[in-house]
Structure 1
Amino acid sequence: MAPSYSNSGNGYGNGNGNGYGYSSSSAASSSSKSTRHQFRNHQQVDLHFDIDEIRAGARVLLHRLWAFGNGPGRIAATNIAMQGGQVVKRNLVARRLLSFPHLLVGLWVLVLLWGERWIFASRVQSCDWDHWEKWPTGATPHRLVFVADPQIIDPHSYPGRPWPLNPLTMQITDNYLRRSYTQLQKVLQPDTVVFLGDLFDGGREWKTARGDFRDPEWAKHHRPESEQKLLKEWNRKYGEDYWLEEYGRFGDIFYEPWAVGGVFPGAWQRGRKLISSLPGNHDLGFGAEVKIPARKRFNAYFGETNRVDVIGNHTFVSVDSVSLSAASSTMKDQVDLRGIFNPVEKFLAEVKAKKRRAAIKELKFWQGEVEELIFDHKVEELNDAEYNDVPSLLKEADGPDFPTVLLTHVPLYREPGTPCGPLREHWPPAKPPKGQTDPVFPDHRNAISVSSGYQYQNVLSESDSIKLIKSIGNVIHAFSGDDHDYCELVHSEKKENVPEITVKSLSMAMGVPTPGFQMVSLWNPVDADGRPLAGDGKPTLQTHLCLLPRSFSTFTTYAALAILNVFALAARAFLFSILNLQPFALDPTQQGDRSILPVFKEKVESDSGNDIKSRSFGTSGNNLLSARLASNTRGRGASITNGAVRSISPRPKSKIRSDRWGWGVNKGPRIEIRRDFFDGGRLQGTTWRAAARPNWRTSLQSRTALIWREMWTTTWRVVWMVFGFFAYLTYKG
């Protein structure tokens, strides 16, 4: 008989459609889908199971928290509140509020307000314009203030200081700058404030978002070893974002208080102005090592580093002297530095024309005319257009030129040893020999050192200094910063005998004990053509150095007061024990149970006179010891209750309470069981021993303990209240 085959399409009777005993693709696909479906179902089941577990756990946790809050938690909170209320109640009484430690705290409050607030206002008020200006009656001078080298502290300033100390230093120095500058605005209300560079301390070190910020190969060995070790960390941690935070910090100190000085300028002044675009070497670098990306960033946020401003009928010319110094650098012939010094050299080539155009605009403003050029609106063919009659503000070379003031961060060159005058704080001038009236020359201690180093140069080169004076022209005065201390001198004939003042730093952290700022009063009345009305040759500029508080003296005052406080509190504690004065420290026996949760439950005593039950000692409830004490003292007619002897005699008929004499109602005399009387039954056959009469040694120890407790309590009260107030003043700035 022939074999039979199934009709599955392949003649092999496997029922799968392929004849080889393996699942077909459709079957495999169906099986795979089924498996994935089951897996997803399992996942969903597990997910639901996890969610249910989380919900159940959350419910259990909330239930326990609720139970704790309604039970022990509420009891603990109530006990804490009651104990706190008792402490406050015991302290808010006249005897404690008007106590000697609180009087010292009141003294500290006045001293701290003086050292952290009032002294700044007092120092600035002593510099008021009316105290030193000497203009004719009816003059309306323009009042200007120079601020030099605020140099806000950052990680570049003190890289070796630990974390808590460095932020504290930053906070204290920022507060000093803010308080000084705020009082400057509030009291003096200057029409113009000009910054003379070094706004930041490490501005040149914080990377920009764009541009190559690396040190060139030829300059890497110039950096000090201490900074080379930190360079990688600085590049990793401090970039554009950090610089922007520092920019915001600078604005918080110096831009926010601007409105304190008022919105409107003084009489006959064009408007209030703040100029902070002059860079220093800490902002950009110096000379050949100026970082161009840092300069572009500085320009974007502070304005053009080379500029001309007309202020009080004077022309102020700000020059980026740190970039100009690249033109005279020894690296000029080895490295292409044109990108650094070309902008400032182009500015100097055009500065005389810029000055005259600025003077013309100022005159047009006061005459009520349009300051800018007016062009005819017409359409012309390009070939027929004429350019011979183009409007121009400056039609002739000898246009109006106001007296010019040069602003540079780095001081101009002078011979080594040139004295800076009697107002220089670091070293006063050397005393001249008998019969000599001129200052001692050279006087190296009183002079600015003519030297240089990594990213700094104390004075400009002589060639750059002469170039500045000649290129600008009509310079009647120069102001600079960088040195941190005051320096005043008149330059040589090569620099046209220009007087220069190097302005003190406003910061307390720049190595000069007494910070300060420079006040300048400008008065130069002119006619419609810009010619002076007061007469040629008369001074149009007056200056005054305003000194700020010495932080070292302030902290010395704090230290001296702290020492006096210690002696005063020690003397009070000693007299307290001798004169039997009212103690400030609360009696420890009156503090009550300090435990938050109840430790044991006291037994309720019966009114029966035969009741000899005692309350448990501590937390153990030692009934055996209580019974033993009761049996040993029964012959004396007393029962022991929590360390006290109670009479079991009948209740007295008298209704007069005698608690004030140590007697209680229904009770006998209270006899205190002193620890030195009772040995707890440790010795066999005896429970009591006679009290030893105190000798001089135990009396001295007891008195010393009382003195020490009073000293510690009063000192701690003064310390935490004073430090708390100082922290508040520091936090508020």
Structure 2
Amino acid sequence: MLILSWLWLFIVLWFEIGVFYASVRRCNWPGQNLGGNHKNILIVADPQILDRHSYPERPSWLRLLSQIMTDLNMRKSWRAVNQRFRPDYVVFLGDMMDNGRLDMTHEEYEGYYGRFLGVFSAPKEKVYYAAGNHDVGLGSSGTFPENAVERYVSHFGPLNQVVQITAKYRLIIVDAPSLVDEDEERMKHGVPIKDWPSVGGPLEFIKGLSKAPGQEGVHNILITHIPLYRPPGTDCGPSRERGTIRAGRGTGYENTLSSEISEFLIARIRPVLVFSGDDHDYCEVRHQGGVQEVTVKSFSMAMGIRKPGFQLLSVPQDDGASTGAVGQLCLLPDQLGIYLDRYIPFVALTLGIMVVDLLLTRKTGMGSDRRAGDEGTILPLHKIKIMRPVVDWWVLRGLRRRRRAGRGLIGDFARYFFDVAGIPGGAFVLISIVFMVLL
């Protein structure tokens, strides 16, 4: 029993803490072995913090459990990632909250936003956000309030912005959902992009970039929540779990930007790299002119992928660096696999061991007690003092067996189960409380 309990304690400690740190130790900053100085950027996509509106088809208790489990999983991942990498900057590729675009009271939104900050704690001055369709909405819908964009800006910052990382590298963060809406409005009027009289929107922001002084020799890295267009069936590379990214749209979402807008972005911004989110799975493609786009994996276990992930990006600081900006995909633990492929088999094996042990104990218990009693009456007197501790232990064991026999097999099993599960179960609860409340 004690062996089982300590074995389970090790299992719980490993799968609730150890695997997260082991996963991130497999990754390193890509510029680490290239020489020279680098600025290191951690890129996170689609954490989509769940709330009471997520998974409306589920009963309320299951929705609450889903929130707790996904928050706990991301808290563990985030702590392991931050302790391992300590990035210079953090960039979120949108969809920070699953239902940030919905109509809700100020107090409810503040609590929702507070949960996001509770999971992803980081110095505010080095964190940048790209707006996602789950943050500000996309298209028209009665569920998207008029103040969704204003609310987003007041909490996460500008929709479109330029972030200077080094003297030669900068991030161009584009409001992709608004770009889709503006492009649709433009097409309704049949106006070419170059003639569209946009004021204050993403198209005006992008056009202004090409006129900005001091661009010579500066490398742009495009940040967009929605991936760029690619031909149907374009392969995403071996790191994708399944399928590919297909163009399509529906209420509140668009899978890719249009072909025309994608070409416009590449021509005007001339990015050396593009990072996008929204799809939840990894995808690596090359566009016209050899421009590489990486669609980053979701950081959440609840987004339809088995292994969440994140992206590391090292940007050279030295003018004469021999290599440019380089990225690296990093994977996080398969939480569903831990539950289904680790915990469930271990539980089944443990229950089997317990049942067999109890049945054998009950079968041999009474006969052993009688034999112990008979043998005790014929021991030579000079051996009684020497054998007393052994006899006492054997008699006590027999008494316990007789009490178990009186309780029945179910009572014995329940007692056995709680004896085995007490220590590891307590550790599981303590770990959860520490990560949810204290860290």
Say which of 92, 115, 132 aligns to 1:195. Answer: 92
Aligned to 1:109: 9
Aligned to 1:344: 202
Cα shift at 1:352: 3.2
Say which of 254, 270, 278 aligns to 2:120. Answer: 254
Do residues 276 (structure 1) and 128 (structure 2) align? yes
Say which of 63, 66, 75 aligns to 1:166. Answer: 63
8 Å Cα contact 1:277/1:299 also seen in 2 = no
Show CA shifts across 1:258-302 (max 9, x none). 36xxxxxxxxxxxx9533331100011114567552111111111
- Structure 2 unaligned residues grouped into runs of 5+: 190-195, 369-387, 389-403
Say which of 265, 270, 279 aligns to 1:483. Answer: 279
8 Å Cα contact 1:451/1:458 also seen in 2 = yes
AA at the equivalent of 2:54: S
Q: Distance in 2 between matches of 1:545 and 1:409?
A: 17
Aligned to 1:129: 29
Cα shift at 1:332: 6.2
Q: Distance in 1 between matches of 2:250 and 2:262?
A: 19
Higher strand share: 2
Cα shift at 1:727: 2.5
8 Å Cα contact 1:133/1:542 also seen in 2 = no
8 Å Cα contact 2:177/2:226 also seen in 1 = yes
Cα gap change, 1:245 to 1:582, in 2 (>3 Å): farther
Do residues 298 (structure 1) and 189 (structure 2) align? no
Q: Distance in 2 between matches of 1:197 and 1:417?
A: 25
8 Å Cα contact 1:155/1:202 also seen in 2 = no
Aligned to 2:241: 425
Show CA shifts across 1:349-401 (max 9, x none). 212345x56xxxxxxxxxxxxxxxxxxxxxxxxxxxxxxxxxxxxxxxxx544
SS of match in other structure, 2:152: helix
Cα shift at 1:516: 0.4
TM-score after normalising by structure 1: 0.50
AA at the equivalent of 1:282: H
Cα shift at 1:423: 0.7
Show CA shifts across 1:26-47 (max 9, x none). xxxxxxxxxxxxxxxxxxxxxx
1:77-476 pair list within 5 angstroms: 100=1, 102-129=2-29, 133-136=32-35, 139-205=36-102, 207=103, 238-255=104-121, 258=122, 274-287=126-139, 292-312=146-166, 313-329=168-184, 333=188, 342-354=200-212, 356=213, 400-426=216-242, 445=243, 447-473=244-270, 475-476=271-272
8 Å Cα contact 1:143/1:191 also seen in 2 = yes
Cα shift at 1:708: 4.2
TM-score after normalising by structure 2: 0.82
Q: Distance in 1 between matches of 2:139 and 2:210?
A: 24
Q: Percent identity?
A: 33
Aligned to 1:542: 326
AA at the equivalent of 1:466: E
Aligned to 2:308: 515
Q: Distance in 1 between matches of 2:82 and 2:8?
A: 28
Aligned to 2:393: none
Show CA shifts across 1:65-108 (max 9, x none). xxxxxxxxxxxxxxxxxxxxxxxxxxxxxxxxxxx1x4322222
AA at the equivalent of 2:26: S
Show CA shifts across 1:295-336 (max 9, x none). 1111111111100011133111000011011122269648xx
AA at the equivalent of 1:732: V
Q: Number of aligned residue pairs: give it.
A: 391
Q: Distance in 2 between matches of 1:133 and 1:187?
A: 13
Whose RCO is larger (CA < 8 A, sep 6+)? 2
8 Å Cα contact 1:477/1:499 also seen in 2 = yes
Cα shift at 1:718: 3.0
Cα gap change, 1:174 to 1:720, in 2 (>3 Å): same
Cα shift at 1:513: 0.5
Compare CA radii of gyration and give the structure with the larger one: 1
Q: Distance in 2 between matches of 1:413 and 1:351?
A: 21
Q: Distance in 2 between matches of 1:581 and 1:322?
A: 75
8 Å Cα contact 2:37/2:318 also seen in 1 = no
AA at the equivalent of 1:515: P
8 Å Cα contact 1:321/1:409 also seen in 2 = yes
Cα shift at 1:159: 1.2
Show CA shifts across 1:628-661 (max 9, x none). xxxxxxxxxxxxxxxxxxxxxxxxxxxxxxxx9x
AA at the equivalent of 1:122: A
Cα shift at 1:577: 2.4
Aligned to 2:339: 555
Cα shift at 1:524: 4.5
Cα gap change, 1:340 to 1:455, in 2 (>3 Å): farther
Show CA shifts across 1:688-712 (max 9, x none). xxxxxxxxxxxxxx96975444323
Show CA shifts across 1:489-536 (max 9, x none). 1013xxx3311000000000000000000111111412xxxxxx24xx
Cα shift at 1:346: 2.0
Q: Distance in 2 between matches of 1:274 and 1:292?
A: 29
Q: Distance in 2 between matches of 1:339 and 1:348?
A: 13
Q: Distance in 1 between matches of 2:408 and 2:94?
A: 60
8 Å Cα contact 1:278/1:320 also seen in 2 = yes
1:33-52 pair list within 5 angstroms: none
Cα shift at 1:155: 1.9
SS of match in other structure, 2:60: coil
**567-576 vs 706-715, which moves further:** 706-715
**501-510 vs 708-717, which moves further:** 708-717
